[in-house]
Structure 1
Amino acid sequence: MANDPKKIRFAPNGALYIAPAPVEGASGGTSVPTGLGDPNAAPDGYKALGYADESGVTLTPAIETQPVNAWQSAVPVLYSVTGASFSIKATLIETNEVTTELFFGAQWVEVMSEDPTPVGTGVFKLDLSSTPDLKELSLVVDWNQGGIRYRCVITRAMISDRGAIQLNRTEPGKFELTLEALDFKGNLGTVYTNDDIAAA
């Protein structure tokens, strides 16, 4: 097969979306996308995470293996799978309700006045629990180069790591997040594309 520079791909545009993870056997929850969908809108039930920094999004599928050695051979005779993972890392730079709640692991609630009839004060707070719950999320990552589109759908995921926020005069606040895919009916994730890379 000849080299083809037209098959070199970039990801100059993209978006990240989250929703509550669907619950197996339950109805009325998140419906996970099963195709590329509308490139200009969030999938139904999902919320956009806004801008990510210029490093973009890092997708890391990994398979851990263990060699099987035999008496009759100096090299392994095969490898067995001991683990699999799929991680998604991004640094979000848009400060909004969705990104801040995701980063801090809590929901904004309005501070109410202490009058006989409590009313909203216009001030909101995040209560950071000393025993936080780990919420299950569903994640969609879209990217494209012109009309060539890709979509990665992670049905179930959890945040496994958060970076530090550095507050300074010249750089925006950054919310660094790493999410790890969880098993859902034997699946870690699905990638869709309209790229001409596979035989029909």
Structure 2
Amino acid sequence: MANDAKKIRFAPNGTIYIAPAPVDGTAGGTTPPVAIGDGVAAPTGYKSLGYVDPAGVTLTPSVESQPVEAWQSAAPVLYNVTKASFSIKATLQETNELTTELFWGNQWVEVMAGQTGTGIFRLDLSSTPDFKEISLVVDWNQGAIRYRCVIPRAMISDRGAIQLSRTENGKYELTIEALDYHGSLGYVLTNDDIIETANLL
């Protein structure tokens, strides 16, 4: 195959969407999208996390394995998969209800004065936090070439520090790990013409 500069890809545009994780057997739950979308509208049931810092989104698939050795060979005869994972890391730039609840790991509740709301909201930082499952979609495109990564079930595994500064906006650094969903960590959709269909078996 000859070198082709037209096959070099960038991701100048993109969006991260989240929704509650699907619950098997529950009517009205989140249904992970199976269509690539139009690159503009959010998938049904999902909400955008807004602006992400210029570093963009980091997607990291990982497989760990161990060698299986045999008496008859000095080299391993095969490798056995011991762990598979898929992580998504991004630093969110918008301060809103969705991003702050994700980062702090709880919900805002209005402080009440009797039966009257005060307009002050409180978010409790639990000493025994309850890890909430989410569903995640990452869209990115280069012109008309679109990609969509869908993680049906995921949890936030790590949070970065918030730097309060006079000269730089607040940012919310999150690492999100995919969870098993019917034997899958997720899937990627694209309309990119990278598949040589004539060579498929």
TM-score, with length taken from structure 2: 0.96
Q: Name the count of aligned residue pairs.
A: 197
Query: Which one-letter code corresponds to 1:194 in the other structure?
Result: N
Q: CA RMSD in A?
A: 0.9
Tell me how far apart the structure 2 counterparts of residues 93 and 194 of structure 1 sit (CA, whole Å).
Answer: 29
1:160 matched to 2:149: no
1:36 matched to 2:43: no
Residue deviations 1:46-68 (CA, integer Å, cap 9, x gap): 11100110110000001111101
Equivalent residues of 2:18, 2:46 under 8 A apart? yes
Q: CA deviation at 1:38?
A: 2.9
Runs of 4+ in structure 1 deviating by more than 6 angstroms, as ranges, are none
Tell me how far apart the structure 1 counterparts of residues 85 and 21 of structure 2 sit (CA, whole Å).
Answer: 17
% identity of equivalent residues: 74
Structure 2: gaps (5+ residues): none
Structure 1: gaps (5+ residues): none
Residue 17 of structure 2 aligns with which residue?
Answer: 17
Q: CA deviation at 1:188?
A: 0.3
For 1:1-200, what aligned pairs fall within 5 Å after superposition? 1-114=1-114, 118-200=115-197
Residue deviations 1:163-189 (CA, integer Å, cap 9, x gap): 010101111111000010000100100
- Matched residue of 1:141: which SS? strand
- Matched residue of 1:128: which SS? coil
Higher deviation after alignment, 9-18 or 36-45: 36-45
